[in-house]
Amino acid sequence: MKRKALMMTTAALGAAYLLRNDKSRKKLMNQFQDFADKAKR
| C-alpha to C-alpha distance for 38 and 33, rounded to whole angstroms | 9
Question: For position 9, what pLDDT does the model report?
Answer: 92
Share of the chain above pLDDT 70, in %: 100
The contacts of residue 25 (CB under 8 Å, 6+ apart) are: 18, 19
Q: What is the pLDDT of residues 16-29, one digit of tens each?
A: 887 788 888 888 88
Question: For position 35, what pLDDT does the model report?
Answer: 85
pLDDT at 1 > cutoff 80: no
pTM for the full predicted model? 0.49
| Torsion angle (degrees, nearest 10) of CA 24, 30, 36, 39 | -100
